[in-house]
């Protein structure tokens, strides 16, 4: 657009604030840096993560509007207006190296500036206007980690269902005297707040979750929740992730408050959901809002889905998607759906089947194939697989340019030497066997034959 202040311009820092239940804030959920207030009242960045990070945070040291107008946020805005690329936004700059993938910056500019016809009249912001008059028009809220699934690539930080599962894993390892780290006080060492997806290898370094880390991430304090409610009259958008937003009591109460006060009609919603809660009560509540963008996380069809997103069943997922479809085709809700897929070894040969999932919904459904995993050290990365197996997948998707080129770009951007591959293939097998033991199942009954044959060829310590 000619009236963009610069080619790097992004609407987010001028309209939007992420505030999560851990006490951090930032320009968007995908930002490379989020900020927090330390005990000495200094604002700091979480980019350089350390073991003392959680002890340094004074949760909610700033109010929402204070955070929006804080020095780090203003710095990002000024850098964008100068045409620079602020470091907090580097994840988008990296994504934009691949022309086939839209970064979060580009996708949300499409939305806020109505660059796509389906987003006409939702926001229609003008870049120059919001840059001159920035204020909180949009909130991205993570109320808690409460969830109803324990997906294999997830963590305690994003699903409280992992807490009892982690306890079960730890007891299994302890009983078998597998190598683990212990603090000086005798407690199990805790590295960070996320689920550790190491291989539980008997001859390798491993960190086991301690009680400090295996915890629920509580909902917003009442004071902060009341501040969110006070901003409802000026908001144009609420984004929510989790956990699963639809099992969050505070999120449902916030939606009900917006409806009761008559403000729902000027608020659009973006909800990142696992798609299991499209039930009548929820859908009826959503009918009052201006527009809803559902980012539905689905990583496979049939047995692949059930293997990754335990304990939900694929047939039940389809039933819930049919409910969503009914509300969309009858215009009870004004909605757009984006099916988002986390690519990993388990679903490498299943991307075609996602078309069957999308076929349940109207033609407005989008599909995004994300080629990275949330945990940077996951044993489930595609990049660990043998080159021969990756080549089979590339040939399989030869007639699907988008999938083929995204997969090829991912592999080429994540070169792994043979020795490292072999090490991580052992991790993948150990993780697979361990989770099968924990969930009382067998990967032979779920995964693609190519992957089953490969896993069978890898030695396991469990």
Give tens-digit pLDDT for 249-292. Answer: 999 999 999 999 999 999 999 999 999 999 999 999 999 999 99
* Half-sphere exposure in the Cβ direction for 32 (13 Å, CA): 14
Structure confidence at residue 174 (pLDDT): 81
Highest mean pLDDT among 68-77, 216-225, 371-380, 438-447: 438-447
The C-alpha atoms of residue 158 and residue 142 are separated, in whole angstroms, by: 10
For residue 375, the model assigns a pLDDT of 62
Local structure of 419: helix, strand or coil: helix
Q: How confident is the model at residue 3 (pLDDT cuts 50, 70, 90)?
A: low
- Find, among 274, 338, 380, the residue nearest to 110 by Cα: 338
- Checking if the pLDDT of 165 tops 80, the result is yes
Q: Is the pLDDT confidence value at 358 over 90?
A: no
What sections of 191-248 are H helices per DSSP? 222-230
Task: Give the residue-averaged pLDDT of 335-340.
Answer: 90
- 3-class secondary-structure state, position 140: strand
Closest CA to 140 of 92, 108, 106, 96: 108
Mean pLDDT for 209-215 is 40
Contacts of 22 (CB under 8 A, 6+ apart): 54, 57, 59, 193, 217
pLDDT, average across residues 149-158: 89
Average pLDDT over residues 386-412: 92
Cis amide bond preceding 243, omega within 30:
yes
pLDDT at residue 429, rounded to an integer: 94
Asked if residue 384 has pLDDT above 80, the reply is yes
d(CA 125, CA 13): 13
Instruction: Count the residues in the chain.
Output: 462
Beta strands 237-241 and 43-45 are: unpaired
Q: What is the mean pLDDT of residues 330-352?
A: 92
- pLDDT score, position 181: 41
Sheet (strand 335-342) strand order: 43-45, 35-37, 25-26, 16-20, 138-142, 237-241, 268-273, 291-297, 335-342, 366-370
The predicted pLDDT at position 118 comes to: 83
Alpha carbon distance, N-terminus to C-terminus of the chain: 57
Q: Give pLDDT, residue 231.
A: 97
Judge whether residue 210 has pLDDT over 60: no
State residue 344's pLDDT score.
94
pLDDT range class, residue 44, cuts 50, 70, 90: low
pLDDT at 216 over 80: no
Share of the chain above pLDDT 90, in %: 53
Element (H or E) spanning 183, and its range? none
The predicted structure's pLDDT at residue 193: 31
The residue ranking higher by pLDDT, 184 or 151, is: 151
Residue 381 has pLDDT above 60, yes or no: yes
For residue 245, pLDDT over 90 is answered with yes
> Range with the lowest mean pLDDT among 100-109, 292-301, 377-386?
100-109
Query: Which residues have a Cβ under 8 Å from the Cβ of 27 and sit 6 or more positions away?
Result: 10, 12, 13, 16, 17, 18, 73, 76, 88, 89
264, 288 contact by CB (below 8 A): yes
Binned at pLDDT 50, 70 and 90, residue 33 comes out as confident
Asked whether residue 459 carries a pLDDT value surpassing 80, the answer given is yes
Instruction: Identify the pLDDT of residue 71.
Output: 86
Return the pLDDT at 126: 92
Over residues 63-103, the pLDDT tens digits come to: 889 889 988 899 999 999 999 999 888 889 888 887 767 88
Q: How much is the pLDDT for 421?
A: 94
pLDDT at 43: 56
Percentage of the residues of the chain whose pLDDT score is greater than 70: 83
Q: Mean pLDDT for the chain?
A: 83
Average of per-residue pLDDT across 125-153? 93
Question: According to DSSP H, which parts of 151-289 are helical?
Answer: 162-175, 222-230, 249-260, 280-286
pLDDT of residue 185: 38
The pLDDT value recorded for residue 67 is 87
pLDDT given for residue 310 in this prediction: 93
φ/ψ of 124, rounded to 5, equals 50, 45
Sorted by sequence, the CB contacts under 8 Å of residue 381 that are 6+ apart come out as 344, 345, 373, 414, 424
pLDDT at 197 > cutoff 80: no
Q: What is the dihedral of CA 367, 371, 372, 378, to 10 degrees?
A: 120
Task: Report the predicted TM-score, pTM, of the whole model to 2 decimal places.
Answer: 0.86
Per the model's pLDDT, the better-predicted residue between 154 and 199 turns out to be: 154
Residue 293 has pLDDT above 70, yes or no: yes
Give 192's pLDDT tier (boundaries 50, 70, 90).
very low
């Amino acid at each position: 657009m000619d009236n963009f202040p610069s080619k790097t311009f992004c609407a987010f820092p001028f309209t939007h604030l992420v505030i999560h239940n851990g006490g951090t804030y930032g320009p968007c959920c995908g930002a490379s840096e989020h900020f927090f207030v330390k005990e000495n009242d200094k604002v700091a960045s979480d980019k350089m993560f350390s073991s003392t990070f959680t002890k340094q945070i004074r949760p909610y040291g700033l109010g929402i509007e204070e955070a929006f107008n804080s020095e780090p946020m203003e710095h990002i805005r000024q850098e964008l207006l100068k045409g620079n690329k602020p470091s907090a936004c580097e994840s988008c700059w990296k994504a934009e190296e691949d022309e086939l993938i839209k970064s979060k910056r580009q996708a949300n500019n499409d939305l806020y500036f109505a660059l796509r016809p389906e987003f006409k009249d939702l926001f229609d912001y003008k870049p120059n206007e919001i840059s001159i008059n920035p204020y909180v028009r949009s909130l991205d809220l993570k109320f808690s980690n409460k969830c109803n699934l324990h997906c294999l690539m997830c963590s305690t930080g994003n699903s409280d269902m992992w807490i009892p599962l982690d306890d079960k894993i730890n007891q299994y390892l302890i009983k078998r005297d597998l190598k683990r780290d212990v603090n000086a006080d005798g407690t199990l060492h805790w590295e960070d707040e996320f689920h550790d997806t190491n291989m539980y290898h008997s001859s390798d370094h491993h960190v086991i979750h301690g009680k400090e880390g295996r915890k629920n991430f509580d909902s917003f304090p009442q004071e902060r929740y009341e501040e969110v409610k006070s901003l409802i009259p000026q908001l144009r958008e609420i984004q929510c992730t989790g956990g699963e937003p639809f099992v969050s009591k505070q999120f449902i109460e916030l939606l009900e408050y917006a409806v009761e006060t008559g403000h729902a009609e000027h608020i659009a919603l973006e909800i990142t959901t696992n798609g299991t809660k499209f039930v009548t009560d929820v859908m009826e509540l959503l009918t009052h809002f201006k527009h809803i963008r559902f980012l539905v996380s689905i990583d496979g069809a049939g047995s692949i889905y059930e293997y990754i997103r335990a304990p939900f069943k694929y047939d039940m997922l389809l039933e819930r998607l049919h409910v969503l479809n009914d509300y969309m085709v009858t215009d009870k809700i004004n909605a757009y759906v984006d099916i988002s897929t986390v690519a990993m070894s388990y679903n490498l040969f299943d991307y075609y089947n996602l078309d069957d999932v999308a076929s349940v919904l109207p033609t407005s459904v989008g599909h995004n194939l994300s080629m990275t995993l949330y945990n940077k050290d996951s044993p489930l990365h595609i990049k660990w697989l043998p080159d021969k197996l990756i080549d089979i997948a590339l040939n399989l998707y030869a007639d699907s340019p988008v999938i083929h080129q995204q997969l090829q770009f991912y592999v080429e951007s994540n070169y792994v030497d043979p020795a490292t591959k072999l090490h991580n293939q052992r991790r993948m097998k150990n993780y697979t066997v361990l989770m099968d033991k924990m969930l009382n199942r067998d990967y032979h009954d779920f995964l693609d034959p190519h992957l089953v044959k490969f896993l069978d060829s890898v030695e396991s310590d469990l």
